[in-house]
Amino acid sequence: MLSLLPSFLCLAVIALHPVAAIWPAPQSFTKGSQVLYLHQNIRITYNGAFVRWSSSREHGCLAEDLDTEYWMSQQVPYTYGYSPSSLTSKEVVQAAVSRTLAGIFNSKFVPWQMHKPGSKFEPDLAQGQKWLQTLQIVQTGEDQPSAFKPLAGEVDESYNLTVSAEGDVQLTAVSSIGVLRGLETFSQLFYQHSAGTFWYTPYAPVAIQDAPKFPHRGIMLDTARHFFPVDDILRTIDAMSWNKMNRLHVHVTDSQSWPLVIPALPEVSEKGAHHPSLTYSPQDVQRIQTYGAQRGVEVYFEIDMPGHIGVVSLSHPELIVAYNEQPYYWWCAQPPCGAFKLNNTGVDAFLKTLFDDLLPRLAPYSAYFHTGGDELNKNDSMLDEGIRSNDSAVLQPLLQKFIDTQHARVRAAGLTPMTWEEIPLDWNVTMDKDTVVQTWLGGESVKKVTELGHKVIDSNYNFWYLDCGRGQWLSFDNGAAYVIGYPFNDWCNPVKNWKLIYSHDPTAGLTEEQAKLVLGGEVAVWSETIDPANLDTLVWPRASAAGEVLWSGRIDPATGQNRSQMEATPRLNEFRERMVLNGVRASPIQMMFCTQGSPKECEYPA
């Protein structure tokens, strides 16, 4: 009997002080323990004007809930040079209010998974309801034209949120994107009562001041090794917005496939897509970008080059070397290899046509365009009849010229170029200092790039590659190769679990000056063994761990120390339930015994 007492005491404490699981953690957060109820007729204003909201599916949380007719009315016909002027601050906020309230009312989150079975954790309805009166949204600044396609730092995402004991909610932000972030936080204060149609927060009064640590908080999705239908991408954007993540980097082509329809070069996707049904039309691209912009998630694209582009050989064989050369490991990291010829006027003409078509369509909702540049194998140019060399002294000037030319085109379209780290670090290609460099090799890469004066997006594969650790996709024969391959782990084994992801700070080991150049980071979803069947379960909630590092910072301002797994775990458990209830198949991180009000029992040391 003695042994049972502590857990009962613990239960009582937990029931009195629920976890208030805002994810990612706000910079500053105080709360009380008063219960306030949310009614569908709460008075909502935006800069003083009354806001109507709709609980219908048209503003629902998930892409799959979108009413097609509504969606079509939001579509702008596809034209070259399409302007984003139709996206107004008011429309963005209005839609966000509807999504927020519909999310609270529709997700049916009665949080029994977070409390001991049989415990009384809900307010007593018989004691009457004190209702929230108003939700006053005040945007103190005017959105700049860049608000929906910002460069890192161009948009102020901060917000202040207060819920008074009297039931008045004040949400103040400089930008409409800040309003969106605040509304997301607001929604996470609420639960549904098991008795039915009552929704409440037990945390009043609330005062939150919040702003992101890093301006670039992203996911990279590889749509070339497996295709992801538009709905999967929209659902991913939804979940990103719940995590206050703001950059979706679409690695849209690679040597394996070219799903992107280019009207000026229709043959590239006709020959290069895995199947005619597995393509992104210009309308799809616009829909994805607009959907993101409406949720504060900037969608930008990467055409990886001059390596990782072998698929172009299927439509333009004269432009490519080493496509599907055997054995692949002489020529690239992965079949079917293939790189642009580095000194070929045909390549340049192809890219002019490609960029003239694509970039003006992307620019209305992107500030960036990623030109790739990882893993270019010098041997490829041995097969190039115009070069026949793998000597860096020969290749470097050609690559320099290639990058100069293509980046000039990117800039001419009003976009800022990005590359992978090998371009400056391995090839010593010089680029304008505003070029953003994405690191992935870990170690000293971030430091080296900042020493060159470039801005950095970090995707350290030892921490933030979500595809790792589930085994080889290569098949090994029964002979010597079998022995070499056994036990068939992949190159970046093990799986990066959420705690490992959470332990990574992209600015670790940097000087203050160097750290200023780190814009943020991206978790990477390379898709050798990921497709729509397992996308959600592998991305969520692991991406949430990176999302909190990037929004809240690795250091907890309350303690001055690294954020604690023990503090984060119950919050992530609760946030994961919210994601699942809103239609994203996020994986569990603990057994239900641990989530149900027993976090202490599931800590080490106990």
| Contact in structure between 139 and 356 (CB atoms under 8 Å) | no
375 is catalytic: yes
Nearer to its own copies, 89 or 223 (CB): 223
Choose the catalytic residue: 58, 69, 91, 375: 375
What distance in Å separates the CA atoms of residue 157 and residue 461, rounded to the nearest whole number? 28
Please, what's the b/e burial string for 330-351 (b: 16 or more CB within 10 A of its CB; e: otherwise)? ebbebbbbbbbbbbbeebbebb
Rounded to a whole number of angstroms, the minimum distance from the CB of residue 583 to its own copies is: 11
Q: Which residue from 94, 95, 184, 89 is spatially nearest to 139, judged by alpha carbons?
A: 89
What distance in Å separates the CA atoms of residue 442 and residue 461, rounded to the nearest whole number? 7
Rounded to a whole number of angstroms, the minimum distance from the CB of residue 388 to its own copies is: 15
Rounded to a whole number of angstroms, the minimum distance from the CB of residue 182 to its own copies is: 28
Rounded to a whole number of angstroms, the minimum distance from the CB of residue 374 to its own copies is: 17
Rounded to a whole number of angstroms, the minimum distance from the CB of residue 506 to its own copies is: 17
Nearer to its own copies, 67 or 318 (CB): 318
Nearer to its own copies, 266 or 397 (CB): 266
Residue 35 exposure: Cα atoms within 13 Å on the Cβ side: 19
| Contact in structure between 408 and 341 (CB atoms under 8 Å) | no
Nearer to its own copies, 257 or 371 (CB): 257
Q: What stretches of 25-147 show up as alpha helix (H) in DSSP?
A: 68-74, 89-106
Nearer to its own copies, 360 or 469 (CB): 469
Nearer to its own copies, 334 or 366 (CB): 334
Strands 518-525 and 216-222, how do they pair? parallel
Nearer to its own copies, 98 or 595 (CB): 595
Q: CA 536 → CA 96, 141, 235, 236, 585, distances in Å?
A: 23, 36, 9, 8, 5
Give Dmax (Cα) for the chain: 84
What distance in Å separates the CA atoms of residue 98 and residue 592, rounded to the nearest whole number? 32
Element (H, E) at 409: helix 392-412
| Contact in structure between 37 and 200 (CB atoms under 8 Å) | yes
* Token pair listed for 465: 């590659």
Name the residue type at position 526: W
Rounded to a whole number of angstroms, the minimum distance from the CB of residue 236 to its own copies is: 15
Rounded to a whole number of angstroms, the minimum distance from the CB of residue 424 to its own copies is: 29
Q: Give bridge partners of residue 438 from the DSSP assignment.
A: 420, 457
What distance in Å separates the CA atoms of residue 205 and residue 1, rounded to the nearest whole number? 39
Q: Which residues are catalytic?
A: 375
